[in-house]
């Protein structure tokens, strides 16, 4: 963040006081930039541009003393009390129409304030680059008959010429040469001659080179809902009818049929002539999910990260034109420019992927909530394991709760048994699958069932350690243990992707037999193949799923039974609905438990509950075996009983004692720099300024740090962090603003 030069520095013309009078005013545009200085700055708008410039358009404006021409975003147009000569003028306008609606502009303004990001940066996060650059749009020539076409004109035409003209008269719409060629089968020079003789007249428009024709077959009818689903849907309909901002937490256990409720709520919204946005975690946007929505709702637009700029732009235009009833996508789909928003659904609302980890660091749930306020619509947050933030809001009464505590057809939840790894005699050859789990795997496959094994760590060995001196092979840039990958025989840093051949000797004591400790999915795969050679299996993690479509291929093979055992990271924990999965094994439930993160217990509870929910979804009962070294941990005990309420109650008390969200707000300031001492000094200075600001403003705010964070070195830069805890986000916001205007940041430090 940088406060940047103030407007005064950039505008060198000073107005003598006698030139300013009460009448001096002019039209001005407020312009922001994605690069520093971010603005907003005012620019005068002169007459030809006054008629066309609207907020949400891109402009060219002169910037700085050199007056170089740069692209900026117009966020406001108004009459200002300023002498026209005191402002530089907008040079040109780049768009024919605004790139976004006034609602979206207000949403951006809020994001800019709340997440402390410049409006220019927010603009670029909200409006995709394909839209900003009008990707795929070309100048197209459209033909139509001249307006004073007479019967005599037609009589002079050849049969083919006549065919073209008749077609255009019938459809009554101008068409491109390509469209006409396709519709009539007549060659291009026929049309050219018609144009030369003046029978057809042309007009150029800017449009997509290829028209996007959405395909949609006949829609499938809705399912008959069970009692819980009916009640939940009724509650949602009442909220939608109120045309006010309302949030409903749909707390439905795994397999309770939440998706069917979303779909019927959306059908209701469409009948009212409104549109819906559905946010899903990216990994659960499988082709099956897509197909399910497509078959029921028809005109949907699916947004995802693999789309080209042209595709994104095309979808954006379809959505803005109101051609689409439902938009489905990951967190950024919350910015979809639907004209009449009636409903927002966040499926798996607890998922961390709804939080963006780059600037602007927004959470889609909070953005959804603000957008719902602007457009007075309903939000559904769905989850079997709601975030404690949302749960607390249902307790406070800020959200309504709709509970679906039973599975479809009253299928029982699976039995969960805990395997205490401390009591298991795990021989080195046996590896990481205990005897009870191994027996259950064999039995399940013998019974013609399928198995899912979860291990939330990729790679082969998670540490390369010297057995003599104990030192671990680390990444030189991040100070983190390198993971050994057998594919490609390399040691990899999972943060910065630094890769080397596995070190043959210890870099500290030169001992030449390094040990490979800790198990990742690759080693687990090897173990499964060795111990159960007759069981067909596949591994699913981000290493095996690099190619587009590989996800689908494995899931299809699992669905049709070719693969009996699927093992992988959290990728396999969520959303999958395979009725024949009778056993889920959690190989190590503790992977996330000891993270220095106040949400560690919550994440563990969610992961174990979600993966447990993958079994027993068919007619046969499922079994879950959870291997752990911490069987008495509340998160693991509660997950084994499918008991969200007990977990939430205990965890909320714990968080209240420590002042963690939802009981307060937390801001984390991260400092980065190449020189360790200089960075520490800067972090300290920052902290002292904050302490002073706290005293001056007279607010309550606790500071933890500055200290080295869990990743003290990342991508070659040292890091320090400071945690700030306060009762309200506004307090943190105010302090951060205060300090950011006071602090002078050296060039080689970022925060
Ligand atoms: P959740 O998202 O809550 O885990 P799903 O929406 O995936 O659950 O539903 C689980 C299964 O139950 C799906 O196969 C779905 O087609 C089916 N299902 C949902 N609602 C009904 C219903 N009312 N009648 C019959 N089957 C249903
Ligand atoms: Zn690294």
Write the pLDDT tens digit of every residue in 627-647: 998 899 999 999 999 999 999
Q: Is residue 53 scored above 80 in pLDDT?
A: yes
The pLDDT value recorded for residue 211 is: 54
User: How far apart, in whole angstroms, are the C-alpha atoms of residue 717 and residue 454?
Assistant: 33
Among 22-26, 456-460, 482-486, the least confident range: 22-26
- Among 185-194, 370-379, 413-422, which stretch is predicted with the lowest mean pLDDT? 185-194
- Indicate the top mutation candidate among 259, 262, 403 to test ligand 1's pocket, ranked by most ligand atoms within 8 A of CB: 259
pLDDT at residue 278 tops 60 = yes
Ligand with the closest atom to the CA of 255: 1
CA 596 – ligand 2 centroid, Å: 19
- Give the pLDDT mean for 343-372: 95
How many CB atoms neighbour CB 400 within 10 A? 17
Edge-first strand listing for the sheet containing 483-485 = 483-485, 490-492, 499-500
Among the bound ligands, the one closest to the CA of 479: 2
Which ligand 1 atom is the nearest neighbour of the CA of 225? 23
State mean pLDDT over 449-472: 83
Whole-angstrom distance, CA of residue 211 vs CA of residue 182: 13
Q: Is the CB of 432 under 6 A from ligand 1?
A: no
Average pLDDT, the chain: 87
- State whether the beta carbon of 226 lies less than 6 angstroms from ligand 1: yes
pLDDT for the residue numbered 709:
79
Bond into 40 cis (ω within 30): yes
Evaluate if residue 363 carries a pLDDT over 60: yes
More confident residue, 83 or 207: 83
Q: Which range has the worst mean pLDDT, 4-18, 110-124, 509-523, 690-704?
A: 4-18
Between residues 494 and 254, the one the model is more confident about: 254
What are the residues whose beta carbons fall under 8 Å from the beta carbon of 706, sequence distance 6 or more? 671, 680, 683, 684, 686, 687, 720, 721, 722
- List, in order, residues 6 or more apart from 531 with CB less than 8 Å away: 431, 433, 438
Residue 3's pLDDT band (cuts 50, 70, 90): very low
pLDDT value for 1: 40
| Whole-angstrom distance, CA of residue 87 vs CA of residue 85 | 5
Which tops the pLDDT comparison, 404 or 510? 404
Closest ligand, as measured to the CA of 408:
1
Percentage of residues in the chain with pLDDT exceeding 70? 94
The response to whether residue 256 sits with its C-beta less than 6 Å from ligand 1 reads yes
Query: How far apart, in whole angstroms, are the C-alpha atoms of residue 536 and residue 526?
Result: 13
For residue 12, pLDDT beyond 60: no
| Nearest atom of ligand 1 to the alpha carbon of 252 | 3
User: Residue 410 carries which DSSP code?
Assistant: G
The Cα–Cα gap between 466 and 461 comes to 13
- Say which residue, 3 or 565, is predicted with more confidence: 565
Query: Quick one: which atom of ligand 1 is closest to the CA of 408?
Result: 12
| Interatomic CA distance for residues 618 and 426, integer angstroms | 33
Find the farthest-apart pair of alpha carbons in the chain and give their distance in angstroms, rounded. 101
Looking at the CA of residue 384, tell me the nearest atom of ligand 1: 3
Residue 5 has a pLDDT of 42
- Specify burial of residue 729 (Cβ count, 10 A radius: 0-12, 13-18, 19+): middle
Q: How many helices (H) and strands (E) does the chain have?
A: 23, 31
The strand pairing partners of 483, in sequence order, are 492
Q: Across-strand partners of 201? A: 144
Extended strands (E) in 286-407: 300-302, 326-329, 341-347, 378-383, 400-404
Examine the pLDDT at 24 and tell me if it is beyond 70: yes
Ligand 1 pocket, 609 CB below 6 A?
Answer: no
Using CB atoms within 10 Å of the CB of residue 636, give its burial: 0 to 12 exposed, 13 to 18 middle, 19+ buried: buried
Span 643-671, average pLDDT? 91
User: What mean pLDDT do residues 496-502 have?
Assistant: 83
Q: Ligand 1 within 6 A of 382 CB?
A: no
Inform me whether the pLDDT recorded for 242 exceeds 90: yes
Pairing, β 665-673 against β 749-750: antiparallel
Assign 212 a pLDDT band (cuts: 50, 70, 90): low
Question: pLDDT digits over 254-263, tens only?
Answer: 889 999 999 9
pLDDT tier at 427, thresholds 50, 70, 90: low
pLDDT tens-digit series, residues 149-182: 888 888 888 888 888 888 888 888 888 888 888 8
Whole-number pLDDT of residue 6: 44
Most informative mutation of 260, 382, 383 for ligand 1 (most atoms within 8 A of CB)? 260
Estimate to the nearest angstrom the gap between the alpha carbon of 377 and the chain centroid. Answer: 21
575 lines ligand 1 (CB under 6 A): no
216: confidence class by pLDDT, cuts 50, 70, 90: low
Q: How would you class 276 by CB atoms within 10 Å of its CB: exposed for 0-12, middle for 13-18, buried for 19 or more? A: buried
The response to whether residue 258 sits with its C-beta less than 6 Å from ligand 1 reads yes
Phi, psi angles (nearest 5°) of residue 102: -70, -30
pLDDT (mean) for 666-681: 91
Which has more confidence, 555 or 364?
A: 364
- Name the residue of 227, 256, 257 whose CB sits within 8 Å of the most ligand 1 atoms, as the mutation to test its pocket: 257
The edge-to-edge listing of strands for the beta sheet with 58-63 is: 41-44, 26-32, 68-80, 58-63, 92-93
Among 516, 521, 515, 517, residue whose Cα is nearest residue 433: 521
Between 256 and 2, where is the model more confident? 256
pLDDT in the model for residue 275: 97
């Amino acid at each position: 963040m940088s406060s940047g030069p103030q407007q005064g520095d950039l505008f060198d013309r000073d107005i003598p006081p006698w030139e300013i009078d009460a009448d001096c005013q002019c039209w001005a545009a407020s312009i922001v930039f994605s690069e520093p200085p971010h603005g907003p700055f005012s620019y005068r708008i002169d007459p030809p541009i006054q008629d066309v410039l609207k907020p949400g358009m891109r402009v060219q404006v002169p910037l700085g003393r050199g007056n170089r021409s740069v692209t900026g975003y117009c966020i406001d147009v108004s009459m200002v009390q300023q002498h026209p000569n005191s402002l530089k003028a907008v040079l040109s306008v780049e768009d024919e129409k605004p790139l976004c609606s006034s609602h979206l502009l207000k949403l951006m303004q809020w994001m800019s304030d709340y997440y402390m990001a410049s409006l220019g940066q927010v603009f670029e996060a909200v409006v995709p680059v394909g839209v900003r650059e009008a990707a795929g749009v070309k100048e197209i020539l459209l033909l139509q008959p001249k307006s004073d076409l007479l019967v005599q004109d037609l009589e002079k035409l050849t049969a083919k010429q006549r065919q073209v003209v008749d077609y255009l008269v019938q459809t009554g719409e101008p068409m491109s040469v390509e469209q006409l060629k396709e519709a009539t089968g007549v060659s291009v020079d026929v049309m050219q001659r018609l144009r030369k003789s003046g029978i057809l007249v042309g007009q150029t428009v800017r449009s997509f080179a290829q028209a996007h024709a959405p395909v949609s077959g006949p829609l499938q009818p809705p399912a008959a809902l069970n009692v819980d689903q009916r009640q939940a849907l009724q509650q949602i309909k009442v909220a939608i009818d109120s045309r006010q901002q309302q949030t409903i937490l749909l707390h439905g256990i795994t397999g309770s049929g939440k998706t069917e409720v979303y779909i019927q709520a959306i059908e209701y919204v469409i009948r009212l002539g409104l549109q819906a946005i559905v946010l899903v975690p990216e990994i659960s946007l499988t082709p099956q999910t897509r197909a399910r929505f497509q078959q029921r709702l028809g005109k949907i637009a699916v947004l995802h990260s693999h789309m080209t700029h042209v595709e994104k732009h095309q979808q954006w235009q379809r959505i803005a034109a109101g051609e689409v009833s439902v938009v489905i996508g990951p967190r950024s789909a919350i910015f979809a420019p639907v004209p009449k928003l009636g409903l927002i659904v966040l499926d798996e609302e607890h998922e961390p992927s709804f939080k963006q980890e780059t600037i602007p660091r927004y959470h889609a749930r909070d953005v959804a909530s603000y957008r719902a306020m602007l457009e007075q619509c309903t939000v559904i947050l769905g989850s079997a394991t709601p975030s404690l933030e949302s749960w607390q809001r249902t307790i406070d009464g800020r959200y309504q709760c709709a509970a679906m505590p039973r599975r479809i057809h009253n299928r029982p939840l699976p039995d969960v048994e805990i395997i205490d790894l401390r009591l298991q005699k795990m021989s080195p050859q046996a590896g990481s699958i205990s005897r009870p789990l191994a027996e259950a795997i064999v039995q399940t496959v013998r019974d013609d069932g399928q198995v899912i094994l979860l291990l939330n760590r990729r790679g082969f060995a998670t540490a390369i350690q010297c057995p003599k001196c104990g030192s671990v092979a680390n990444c030189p840039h991040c100070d983190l243990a390198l993971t050994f990958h057998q594919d490609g025989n390399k040691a990899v840093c999972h943060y910065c992707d630094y890769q080397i051949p596995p070190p043959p000797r210890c870099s500290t004591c030169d001992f030449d037999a390094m040990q490979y400790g800790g198990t990742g999915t690759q080693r687990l795969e090897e173990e499964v193949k060795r111990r159960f050679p007759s069981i067909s299996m596949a591994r699913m993690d981000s290493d095996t799923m690099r190619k587009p479509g590989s996800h689908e291929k494995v899931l299809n093979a699992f669905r049709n039974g070719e693969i009996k055992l699927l093992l992988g990271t959290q990728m396999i924990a969520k959303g999958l609905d395979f009725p024949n999965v009778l056993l889920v094994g959690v190989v190590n439930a503790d992977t996330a438990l000891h993270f220095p993160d106040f949400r560690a217990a919550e994440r563990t509870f969610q992961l174990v509950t979600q993966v447990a929910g993958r079994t027993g979804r068919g007619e046969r009962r499922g079994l879950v075996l959870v291997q752990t070294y911490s069987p008495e941990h509340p998160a693991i005990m509660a997950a084994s009983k499918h008991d969200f309420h007990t977990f939430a109650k205990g965890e909320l008390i714990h968080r209240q004692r420590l002042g963690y969200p939802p009981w307060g707000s937390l801001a984390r300031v991260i400092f980065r720099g190449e020189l360790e001492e200089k960075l520490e000094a800067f972090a300290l200075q920052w902290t002292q300024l904050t302490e002073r600001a706290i005293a001056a403003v007279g607010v309550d705010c606790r500071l933890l740090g500055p200290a080295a964070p869990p990743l003290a070195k990342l991508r070659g830069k040292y890091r320090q962090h400071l945690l700030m805890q306060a009762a309200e986000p506004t307090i943190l916001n105010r302090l951060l603003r205060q300090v950011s205007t006071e602090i002078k940041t050296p060039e080689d430090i970022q925060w």
